[in-house]
Structure 1
Amino acid sequence: MRPQRLEDIVGQQDLVGPGKIIARMVAAKLLSSMILYGPPGTGKTSIASAIAGSTKYAFRKLNAATDSKKDLQVVAEEAKMSGTVILLLDEIHRLDKTKQDFLLPHLESGRIILIGATTENPYININPAIRSRTQIFEVHPLSLEDIKTALNRAITDKARGLGQLDLHVDDDALAFMAGATNGDLRSALNGLELAAQSTPPDDTGAIHVTLTVAEACFQRKALIGDKNGDAHYDVISAFQKSIRGSDTDAALHYLAQLVAAGDLPSICRRLMVIAYEDIGMANLPAAARTVQAVQAAQQLGLPEGRIPLADAVIELCLSPKSNSGIAAIDAALADVMNGHNGAVPDHLKDAHYSGAKKLGHGNGYQFPHDFPGDWVQQQYLPDDLKHAEYYHPKANGRFETQLGEQYQRLLRANRRR
């Protein structure tokens, strides 16, 4: 079911949809090397395959960890003969220096269009020499509707899917398959294929896949009340909103649903988001304790992991709440995204290299630790933003109240008010 054209790709429409960057690159035939990073089964290989199919360029796939420099040489020779080859290099974060040095001139010449695929953060795990010659795009877990669309295509496609079978999949079974893999389409398709091939046909030759069959093939139970495609994410949403609303019993109920479904990854990720998004500055020690509880749960696994998770949920529910942290960073991001970056003041610029002084970099900087109280009045924001205030403290807990008072004192002392 691998897509052959960009139009066939399910999900990732912010990259491949009409008018979006990869679609524009393909339409203009101005491809550049790129790195796609994100969880397994989210479409990295599909995007590479569809780009090749849409441009009619030769498409080759190698693995940076297991394939040798000789394999890269074969691709390079083919590129010299055919003009351009699209190379999907899986696990690009494991590319060693020898292979990297061989690839670099071919990337610069444009003979090889590299599409690197990785589940690791490329800004941390990929060599800067490769990173500087590629565009980096993040792919995200697919939505339930995206996965249901792809599963229905596989059920009806007679050439590449299961359309040659008289296959009937119940709505609740399809919804379960879509939600059971946390956005991993490959796993969802594998589960569908197993269900279809392992279920004996009835007297009429029809294969009937029920929710019970789907659960057996995915080795996971459906969430309680999971009768539609949105149930899984509805429970996660209700879990966060119950903690935000300080309803301990409701939060424990939704936690129990997620524990019963065995969805430890979603619980852990969501709890850490909640701790810093909804409690945050009002009780940062509780946020830190939540991270410890999550780490304990991951070490213990389920069912024992439910104990530290429950402790964290109870504390977060009963803690004062504040979203001032996320509001502050989003306000700052809005300025940056709208082009209000501003130049770094000269006295704050790096002065640790020869010639910096001649440029005026670092001149006039006052080292706070040389002054009483380790503080001195000076400007840190760019001139165009010197009056900006992104953080607006709340007074829902003693912790942030005290920080807020200090924030206001520093604003007044620095004459920004």
Structure 2
Amino acid sequence: MELLIEKGLMFGNLIRVDSPVLVERYNRALKHLTGRETEQNVFHIDISGYSPEIGDEFGDDLYLNHKGVNRQFILLTTEQATAPLLNAKLSTSRGILRQFIEENRAELFALTARDAVAGELVNSVYMADTPAKLFDIRKITIEADTTSGTVAAAAKLGAMIDRFKTAPDGWYDDVLIADMIGMAKKTGDVLRNPVSLRKMSFGQENFWTAHFGGIYIFRDVEHPAAIVAGPKDAVGDLPIPYTFDLRDRSAIAKFLSLNDLVEPIIKARGIDAAAILHQKMDFIVASVAAQMKEDLTGATRQDLRRLGRHYAAQLPPEWQGLAALLRWAEEDGPWPTITSDHPAYFYTLRAKSHVDADLVNRLLAELTPLDIRQLFICHKEAFYDAYARWPEEKQAYVVDFLDHEYQVDKAGARAALYGHVDPAPELPHVSRSDLMARVGPWGAITRGRG
């Protein structure tokens, strides 16, 4: 992983904490949340305030995320909004934290000028010891304050001011006035500079969790289902009409189509579909060439085309299917029959533009592991896991490609691939619960019980 770290492809965009003042504030918040303190003088933090250096020091990568379902956070600066979320256990967590920071930017800027802000993404589940427990996660509410309780104190002072203004004897209440003066010394002028944070809650209907090998939960769609990365039998009965695993390709394809979650790349508007197909094919050739111990250092498209001709007999059906689709697009060839059973099928799709587009693209990335760019952009956890098992030749090629082709213009690359930016998480909305949503269209063969 050293090469990934060196190129900023792992632990990239973290916030450096090297000021004694900020270290002291962090420790105060850390003690407030966990009862522990760090001995580090210089470290880096993600959007939640998690530090890989402190995680290594504690021997606990979940020191701010107890049991993987109680995400706590420490904010030292609003600049954390641009940082990644490391060791994510729920796909919605980073979007929630980012929206919280953006919608309270002015207030957080004022608060973090004097203290750290500590908080938690609160839900009713404290331990997900069975897969079914994950379905109890319905709503995430953000609770936050400075370690000295500035926000709570400001709310209390505001109530005192209201009482002072409205109570008949308020002007003569010496105790109330003294309390107000004492509280104002702590909070400042809350009339001119209100110190409050918006109360924010987020529905958790559709999300991915890293628990139990990875589970995609889709509840707020017309035809609900869960999709697990491992064998579906291992998760037992889930409280959702249908449970699939990644081997149920036809069922997943039908699920995506019935819920109108995907579209064919070749028919999508605003993108160069042929260029995307060419790139996917290059990734597959590179994977084959790496297995054959070819040196891919500085490999160009022409080099990969040469290697593709050389190893034509070894190219997998994923490449063959994409090549047939490309011949239709560029050379007026016959329309290829690529059904959901074909290994190339999911390589031909992308998420439609909707609030769960990132979640669907994450699922597609897991179904198309040879597309290393999609895997890196949409499913970092799966990418790092796969990277550790690749031969050195493929590792070097992938790092070089991502460093020179993706890192230089991330936003442009995402727009070219997906045609839309990350949708922000929305406030809770009502789930559909009609008869078809409960029964589903797949029949009894793959239906989960419970």
The two structures have a TM-score, normalised by structure 1, of: 0.25
The two structures have a TM-score, normalised by structure 2, of: 0.23
Larger helix share, 1 or 2: 1
Structure of greater relative contact order (alpha carbons < 8 Å, 6+ residues apart): 2
